Amino acid sequence: MSIHPSLKTTSGALSQHRNVLTRAERITKLAEESRFDSSNSSALGLPKVRSIKASTGKKPKKAEEGAEDGKDAKKK
């Protein structure tokens, strides 16, 4: 019997952005922001931590400049 396509994982599935962080990841993120001290704070009941995916900007198209010049020449 084959596996359903929605249950298959790809090779890059583990490196994708996740919205939910593990407790260890939340502790390291809070420690970086100086909001968690391992000697005084408990690992239970941690505050929420935002996990923002860094997005890359769109690259400007090089072909647009050439295409605009070509359109103007055809109209004249």
Q: pLDDT tens digits, residue range 1-57?
A: 888 888 877 766 666 777 778 888 888 888 888 888 777 777 777 888 887 777 777
Domain residue ranges in the chain: 17-52
Q: Which of 28, 23, 29, 25 is nearest to 45 (CA)?
A: 23
The pLDDT score that the predictor gives to residue 13 is 62
Cα–Cα distance list, 64 to 8, 28, 44, 61, 72 (Å): 39, 45, 55, 6, 12
